[in-house]
Amino acid sequence: MGRLMRRRSTTTTDDAAPAPAPAPAEPETAAERRCCRLRDAALSRNVRVRFLFDEIAKLGCDVGSPFGFVRCASVERSGPLGDKMVGGFAVNDGSQKRYAPGVVVVAEHAPDKAVFERTLVHELVHAYDQCRAKVDWKSGAHHACAEIRASSLSGECDLSQEINRGVFGLMAHHGKCVKRRAALSLALAGRAEPEATVDAVFDRCYADTAPFERHPDFAGLRPSESYKVT
């Protein structure tokens, strides 16, 4: 994965929480075993998930076995804020000998195929961006761009998901959702002025659908050099 730094970036049950700690490889609870079954199915059958892994590999980043890269952990084994987490992408700056980059899914909070797969795609977009752009997570612009793209491309801002959250409105709902969730992620990471940071890079990052030629949920968007800060 190149030079990676540990960060906190998440998909959450209530739009709030940092990434969990890495999970042990072997599932111990019923929830973890169910989560591993969902993981195995997604890695084997989900077209978007498999496509993202293929594109990461094409960039020259070796994540090893996908089944090791994507791990399941119970709330109790997901760190102090695991009760609010669905998933997180954890990265490494090279100084932590026992800490490997990867995706962690909190087993109790991914109860079904749809939730699990949206979460996994979100985190894999982060993994792709880390490989492609060598994202500087200390940069507010880079961090915002990563969250904009992951929220946009994962399916978490589909109209049905917004309705489930009690957010209604047909006009430009997708973009508004992406802005809201990206800004919240920045706020949780302690960023000052998260809304303004998201607004500053939103257009180019929202339009960047790489590695998809067009947005996987609707047509009309094309990739751009979203991490090239001018």
List residues with catalytic annotation.
123
Angle CA(114)–CA(74)–CA(32) in degrees, nearest 5? 60
Name which of 124, 100, 131, 138 is nearest 50 in CA terms: 124
The residue to which tokens 């000998």 are assigned: 97
Cα→Cα distances 107→26, 47, 73, 74, 94, Å: 13, 22, 6, 5, 28
The residue to which tokens 């699990």 are assigned: 116
The residue to which tokens 């492609």 are assigned: 132
Query: What contacts 219, CB < 8 A, 6 or more positions away?
Result: none
